């Protein structure tokens, strides 16, 4: 049986006065991200980078809510995060935020990007 090395990272930070937990597990075939302000998993979202057609240079993602609320703001958060991370492998995102307004979401996405990159 082949050994795999999982990279697990966790941290916590404040966003607009809300305690926010972040846990990232980097599997060989997926990146699993948990970001929560409720200490619960929240909605589970699967994000896949679509293969562009040869003449098409735009980057698109398929976003699918597996469990939880299937709301436009969750799709927007997931798509924005995927665009910032620009990964080729799929992302499994568990998200539970008190607010999906633009500025807090940008701060959280940047924290995730910094944490994944660091």
Owner of token pair 């979401």: 105
Q: What is the pLDDT of residue 94?
A: 98
| Whether 98 contacts 18, CB under 8 Å | yes
CA atoms within 13 A on the CB side of 36: 14
pTM (two decimals) = 0.91
Reading the chain (118 residues) residue by residue, the pLDDT tens digits are 455 567 899 999 999 999 999 999 999 999 999 999 999 999 999 999 987 766 666 788 999 999 999 999 999 999 999 999 999 899 999 999 999 999 999 999 999 999 998 8
Query: How does 55-65 read in b/e, with b if 16+ C-beta sit within 10 Å?
Result: eeeeeebebeb
């Amino acid at each position: 049986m082949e050994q795999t090395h999982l990279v697990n990272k966790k941290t916590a930070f404040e966003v607009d006065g809300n305690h926010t937990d972040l846990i990232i597990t980097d599997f060989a075939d997926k990146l699993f991200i948990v970001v929560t302000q409720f200490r619960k998993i929240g909605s589970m979202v699967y994000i896949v980078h679509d293969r562009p057609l040869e003449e098409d240079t735009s980057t698109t993602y398929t976003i699918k809510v597996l469990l939880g609320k299937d709301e436009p703001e969750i799709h927007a958060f997931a798509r924005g995060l995927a665009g910032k991370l620009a990964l080729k492998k799929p992302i499994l995102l568990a998200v539970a935020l008190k607010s999906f307004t633009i500025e807090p979401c940008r701060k959280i996405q940047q924290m995730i990007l910094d944490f994944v990159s660091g």
